Amino acid sequence: MCLKVIPWIRKDAGIRPNVVQQDGAPPHTFKVSQAFLDEKLSFWANNTWPSQSPDN
């Protein structure tokens, strides 16, 4: 991610603001993943929005 994705986002977005949004998949909610994104990107944590599932 550090070598490919982040440089691509920064190049493609330029000075426009961007936000990484993920679903609740276990790899996305893993504490290490959350900490990495918080350090490297403008990131909204997995608990920023409540679930929108009709099963709730």
- Spatial separation of the C-alpha atoms in residues 1 and 43, rounded to whole Å: 14
pLDDT digits 0-9 by tens, 12-45: 777 777 777 777 788 878 888 888 888 877 777 6
Task: Say whether 43 sits in a helix, a strand or coil.
Answer: strand
Is the pTM value of this prediction over 0.85?
Answer: no
CA distances from 19 to 6, 27, 53, 56 (A): 12, 18, 21, 26
Structure tokens at 56: 């709730």
Tell me the two tokens of residue 24.
């609740």
